[in-house]
Amino acid sequence: MDRVLSDFIISLRHAGVRISVSETLDALQSVRLVGYNDRETLRDALLAALPKSAPEKEIFARCFDHFFSFDYFADADATAGPDSAPVGAATDFSLTRTLLSGDRTALVMAMREAARAANLTDIQFFTQQSLYTLRILDGMGLPGLDASIQAMQANGSPGAGQQAAALEKARTFLVDNVRRYVAQQLTLNTPTAMENLLTSYLRHAKLSTLEQQHFQDMHIIIQRMVKRLNDLHSRRRKASRRGQLDFKKTLRKNITYQGFLFDLKWKKRKIERPDLVVICDVSRSVMRTVRFLLLFLYGLNKAIVRIRTFIFCSNLIEITSIFDEYPVEVAVEKIRLGADLPILMGRTDYDQSFRDFKANHLDSVSRKTTVLILGDARNNYAEAQTGILKTIYERSKRLIWLNPETPSFWGTGDSEMKKYIPFCSMVKECNTLHHLEGVVTSLVHRRH
Amino acid sequence: MQTIHDEKFASPETIRQGFQEQGFIASRQITTTAFLAYHLGKPLLVEGPAGVGKTELAKTTAAFLDLPLIRLQCYEGLDESKALYEWKYGKQLLYTQLLKDKLDSIIDRENGFAESIDKLHRYDDIFFSRHFLEPRPLLKALQQEGGAVLLVDEIDKADDEFEAFLLEILSDFQVSIPEIGTVSAITKPVVFLTSNNTRELSEALKRRCLHLFIPFPEPALERNIIRIRVPGISEKLGRQLVAFIQAVRQLEVRKAPSISETIDWARVLLILHAQELSPDLVRDTLNIFLKFEEDIAVVAERLHPLTAGAVRAAGD
């Protein structure tokens, strides 16, 4: 019965429950303790050993009901009762014999055995259903059954004819059941397979082309990515807190113990969190990317990054306070609509925006600041001065320019990207979630 | 290992009876999991909303097995010196002062400096021996001769590092103390960890534990609990108040009332000599099981339909 359990664990894994080898062993031992006799107890035992969180328990409950439903071949007796089992040439084949005898357990066992041989647990797409059904039927010995039916029909005697008809009926019944079994296995496997596909598709899809319907999914993916970054970085922060022996402090503290050094004091290294100034172009061409970048940045723990955000189109304004007041999603939406904000949504004017920044906010950039500019550098053929950008670059620690266009378009038409590049520490193409994640990771990962 | 207790843990059913004698009504899920945790010798991670009896489960197990309960309450900043062991600095200090005079005779002035140091080295370990070790809950649990029930309460409140540090204890039931060496459990303790899910626990920790989620109880189970824990209460009132609490849990409240609050409320109603629920009575006692102003407002608004519903449900 251990095989049954490992099959069950495979379908749990397909459904998205993470199960390690040691947990599998636990489950095996648990089952050995409680046995397979009582369905409810078995369920409780596995519930304790395998899923380890409330959502996983829900998935488990669903899988358990699906997997341990033994209602196959339920009306087998109606099709071919034991009394109709005659002797004859047909009984050479075990499948024919089992079908005729109506032994339900044997049929289920044979089906599971064949399914295992055909690696049914690997099934992923509904198009594979008929293939697996065929393989399982072959494994159970369908060709043999067909042969015996033919032999009986050829025989010609009335008894054999009747038996052939019964077998024919049983055959349809068998095929139905196997098909149902395969379909059920598919439902056990598919949700996550599809989900994984979708996730990887969304990660690499161009942000500007995404449909509205995927925004919800994107949020979830972003949340997941951000959580990982947060976890990763908070651990690092804690580790770097441990420092060297602070001798002065130790001496001072231990004067009370007559100079015996019992209570050691350690130097605490102050962590520099990245100080971030984000300057975003919010003209329509770039808005969507901006939206996701902001979702990403403000998802990060406040202890990890400190952000000031500016947006510009024809002029430049600061919007940090909006993020302080509202939750991220609401804030991003407010910015997208541009309501109540003193921003002019005319032609994008990089020059004017940089001048605004210099006039009002240049003091926000210091030697510790990383400046992140997101824009396509399309200045509508207006003159582009690089002087202010140079000033910002020199004042800041790093200046990173993210451009949603692919590099081959930089400098074409009204794009001034080529002019700006010399004054950036790093220039990156940024138009998928994957890119965004890379950028944000490099922001918080840098050791100071 | 714990052969003496095997009889008490012979089957989930015997556990259920044993727990009931201790005044703890357990669902089948709980007893089966406890049964497995005991026989596999694995720690049991218990999750669920506040007040559903997570801590109570550990206490009951201790009482049932007649073992000491050693409790470690977790909080942010909890570290090894509070959880595992600490050197008795004061005692060390005192002893060095007392023994100062002995120093001369030990070192023996006739000899040279190098020799004196050699001699001192021989006494090195005295001050870092078991006599100067202050065992904290985890070490204490390992040192109990007859075994113990170790309760690590609200593990989610502790830091990630502490969780990592627990791993060695949970999987091997031993700890390393640099100055002394590895200390193994004399008798494996029965370990319970509880979590309120304020943060996600690490995979590594979860992997080493069996997992039990205690949800809010079914009406029948909750009625049973009330009957056992608040013996004087009338059958009718018990049914009504359980139905009422169950209905409140369906509402959008910040903190849904849990079993402990149901019990509190039942006790209060008993003291007030209430015979059955009425809107006025409920309004006066709402603050027993609702702990937020907003929640009280939400329930007070629907007081009449809720009370009527509870009375009707109890009548069936």
Q: Say which residue, A42 or A233, is predicted with more confidence.
A: A42
Instruction: Say which residues have a Cβ less than 8 Å from residue A111's Cβ, sequence separation at least 6.
Output: A72, A136, A140, A177, A178, A181
CATH value of A275-445 in 3.30.420.40, 3.40.50.720, 3.20.20.70, 3.40.50.410: 3.40.50.410
- A201 has pLDDT over 90: no
Q: Which of B32, B89, B200 sits opposite A262 (nearest CB)?
A: B89
Give pTM, 2 decimals: 0.62
B222 and B182 Cβ atoms separated by less than 8 Å: no
Q: Which residues of B touch A47 (CB under 8 A)?
A: 29, 33
Best-predicted range by mean pLDDT among A169-183, B118-132, B173-187, B204-218? B204-218
> Does the beta-carbon distance from B36 to A30 stay under 8 Å?
yes
Q: Is B203's CB within 8 Å of A18's CB?
A: yes
| pLDDT at res. A214 | 61
Average pLDDT over residues B241-248: 90
- Can you give the length of chain A in residues? 448
Structure tokens at A221: 């993916």
| Nearest Cβ partner for B160 among A40, A45, A235 | A235
Query: For residue B217, how many other CB atoms are within 10 A of its CB?
Result: 21
A438 pLDDT band, cuts 50/70/90, is confident
pLDDT band at A222 (very low <50, low <70, confident <90, very high): confident
Q: Which of A22, A30, A44 sits opposite B29 (nearest CB)?
A: A44
Which is more confident, A282 or B263? B263
- Does the pLDDT value for residue B243 go beyond 50? yes
CB pairs under 8 A between A and B: 69
CA distances to A52, A199, A367, B163, B291 from A224, rounded to whole Å, are: 19, 11, 32, 22, 33
Residues of A in contact with B96 (CB under 8 A): 260
Q: Which residue of B has its CA nearest to A38?
A: B32
* Cβ-Cβ contacts under 8 Å for A181 (sequence gap 6 or more): A72, A111, A115, A136
Q: Is the pLDDT of residue B37 over 70?
A: yes
pLDDT on residue A81: 41
Closest partner residue to B40 (CB to CB) among A30, A52, A238 is A30
Question: Average pLDDT of chain A?
Answer: 77
Measured between CA atoms, how close is B185 to chain A, in angstroms? 22
Structure tokens at A114: 């064949």
Which of B46 and A176 is assigned the larger pLDDT?
B46
User: What pLDDT shows up at residue A338?
Assistant: 72
pLDDT band at A88 (very low <50, low <70, confident <90, very high): very low
Q: Looking at chain A, which residue has its C-alpha nearest residue B195?
A: A53
pLDDT of A63 > 60? The answer is yes
Chain B partners within 8 Å of A52 (Cβ)? 45, 206-207, 209, 211
- Summarize the confidence of residues A189-205 as an average pLDDT: 63
Report the candidate in A320, A372, A381, A373 with the shortest Cα–Cα distance to residue A348.
A381
**Higher pLDDT, residue B257 or A221:** B257
Nearest-Cα distance to chain B for A299, in Å, is: 17
Residue A306 β-bridge partners: A275
Contact A426/A443 with Cβ under 8 angstroms?
no
Contact present, A152 and A161 (Cβ < 8 Å): yes
Percentage of chain B lying above the pLDDT 70 cut: 97
Residue in chain B nearest A232 by alpha carbon: B160
CB contact under 8 Å between A53 and B206, yes or no, is yes
Considering only CA atoms, which of A375, A225, A403 is closest in space to residue A299? A225
CA distances from A171 to A90, A91, A146, A174, A279 (A): 14, 15, 9, 5, 70
Alpha-carbon gap, residue A124 to A24, rounded angstroms:
23
Q: Across the interface, do A33 and B32 touch by the CB < 8 Å criterion?
A: no
Task: Collect all residues of chain A within an 8 Å Cβ-Cβ radius of residue B160.
Answer: 234-235, 238
How close A448 comes to chain B (CA, Å)? Answer: 23
Residue A268 has pLDDT above 90, yes or no: no
Do B163 and B155 contact (CB within 8 A), yes or no?
A: yes
Q: Could B161 and A238 be called an inter-chain contact, meaning their C-beta atoms sit closer than 8 Å?
A: yes
For the stretch A109-163, pLDDT in tens is 788 788 888 887 777 777 888 888 888 888 888 888 888 888 888 877 777 777 7
Tokens, residue B169: 């204890």
**Does the structure show a pLDDT above 50 at A429?**
yes
Mean pLDDT of the A276-298 span? 80
- Tell me whether residues A40 and B28 touch, CB distance under 8 A: yes
Q: Is the pLDDT of residue B44 over 90?
A: yes
Alpha carbons B259 and B256: distance in angstroms, whole number: 10
Q: Quick one: pLDDT band at residue B316, thresholds 50, 70, 90?
A: low
Q: Quick check: B46 pLDDT over 90?
A: yes
pLDDT tens column, B267-311? 999 999 888 888 888 888 888 888 888 888 888 888 888 888 888
Q: What is the pLDDT of residues A328-347, one digit of tens each?
A: 777 877 877 776 778 877 78
B283 min Cα distance to partner chain A (Å): 34
Q: Can you give the pLDDT at residue A78?
A: 42
pLDDT digits (tens, 9 = 90+) for A381-409: 888 788 888 999 988 888 889 888 888 88
